[in-house]
Amino acid sequence: MKINIYNTMLNEETRHNELRVEKSIICEDSNKLKSPSGIQKLMIEQFQLHKKAEEYVYLVTMDIKCNPLGIFELSHGTVNSSIIMPREIFIRALLSGAVGIIIIHNHPSSDITPSKQDLLVTEKIAQAGKMIGVELLDHIIIGGNEYCSLKELGVL
């Protein structure tokens, strides 16, 4: 399965957001992206997320059957923080036609324990998604070769 890695760009004439394919990757097993461990493996293989020295936040948009529509880099922060806002998340989700989203970010410290801020942001995104019909399916934290799924923890 081919998965597009997208970026958003402003249309020069209308100044509206548009999706632009940055690159495409091949995922041999599309079922891989239907589990937190599979998503963790993809993010490690394709983005080296477990080796990043700063926090990176990614968005995977999903269709009604939980097949990936695209992957977006949402934010690149510092060693212990990265800023994301629901507006930027849901612009990308809606432009790609998503009905579900997964947020993934890394903890360079390798401690996969969700911070208070991680939990607050997850709740804020989940609430915003409910209002517009785009479900937050999971928020996955990657640290080293481990991960923490907030869905598996019962937060979502």
Q: Which CATH number fits domain 30-149: 3.20.20.210, 1.10.10.10, 3.30.465.10, 3.40.140.10?
A: 3.40.140.10
Q: Are 101 and 129 in contact (CB under 8 A)?
A: yes
Domain boundaries, the chain: 30-149
At 114, list the tokens: 């969700």
Distance (Å, whole) CA 49 – CA 52: 5
pLDDT in tens, the chain (156 residues): 889 899 888 988 999 888 888 888 887 766 667 899 999 999 999 999 999 999 999 999 999 999 999 999 999 999 888 989 999 999 999 999 999 999 999 999 999 999 999 999 999 999 999 999 999 999 999 999 999 999 999 998
pTM of the model: 0.91
